[in-house]
């Protein structure tokens, strides 16, 4: 199973990625993890990325594409993978398609977690983070885990969430249309419990696996 997971901020991609990767026994490959690994190891690609980051610039697609390409060549990804956070735009999607075509291992499917913007704003703006243990909670004055005080992170405020969604629509949503035209897109609702969404996704993917 070779999957790409897409969806707006707050759709629950990170959570679903973990469950789906475990279900299919494939690695969950998040771009943030790839960047951190390359930076920590001081790889040539990591050094290139750091040069841009140190200047406050975005890491160019060419570097990101190569990092992902290298990661997909590792042994644990031979029998499949779940990409989370990549591709972020159509140009990256086209490079990924070309890379996989070289190995005759095309994507199995692209899973889109669909949720209305209003639901996302309501979901994320109700989130609070514990000052003591850092765990997230919802609509409470005290952390249910350790009893610590909670606060609202800046990026969980409604106006910030709205802007993040605008950026998603501008930059990332076009890949949904790209993969729909490729016949790879499978869309499932991201409303419900974690278990319900996972079951829904696995049921939808069973038609292509």
- The residues that are catalytic are 13, 88, 127, 153, 164
Torsional class of 10: left (φ above 0), alpha (ψ -120 to 50), beta (otherwise) = left
SS3 106: coil
Count Cβ atoms within 10 A of the Cβ of residue 13 and give its class: 0-12 exposed, 13-18 middle, 19 or more buried: buried
- Give the full edge-to-edge strand order of the sheet including 127-130: 136-138, 127-130, 150-151
Give the DSSP letter string of 153-195. -GGGSHHHHHHHHHHHHHHTTHHHHHHHHTT-EEEEE--S-HH
Neighbours of 84 (CB within 10 A): 23
Query: d(Cα 85, Cα 7) in Å, to the nearest integer?
Result: 9
């Amino acid at each position: 199973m070779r999957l790409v997971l897409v969806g707006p901020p707050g759709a629950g991609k990170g959570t679903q990625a973990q469950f789906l990767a475990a279900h299919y026994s494939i690695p969950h490959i998040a771009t943030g993890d790839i960047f951190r690994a390359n930076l920590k190891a001081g790889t040539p690609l990591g050094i290139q990325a750091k040069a841009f980051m140190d200047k406050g610039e975005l890491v160019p697609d060419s570097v990101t594409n190569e990092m992902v390409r290298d990661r997909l060549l590792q042994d644990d990804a031979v029998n499949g993978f779940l990409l989370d956070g990549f591709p972020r735009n159509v140009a990256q999607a086209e490079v990924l398609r070309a890379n996989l075509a070289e190995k005759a291992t095309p994507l199995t499917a692209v899973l889109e977690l669909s949720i209305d913007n209003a639901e996302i704003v309501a979901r994320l703006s109700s989130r609070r983070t514990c000052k003591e243990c850092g765990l997230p909670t919802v609509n409470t004055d005290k952390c249910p885990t350790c009893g610590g005080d909670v606060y609202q992170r800046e990026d969980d405020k409604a106006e910030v969430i709205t802007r993040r969604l605008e950026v998603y629509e501008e930059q990332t949503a076009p890949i949904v249309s790209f993969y729909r035209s490729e016949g790879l897109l499978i869309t499932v609702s991201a409303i419900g419990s974690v278990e319900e969404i996972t079951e829904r996704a696995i049921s939808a993917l069973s038609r292509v696996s």
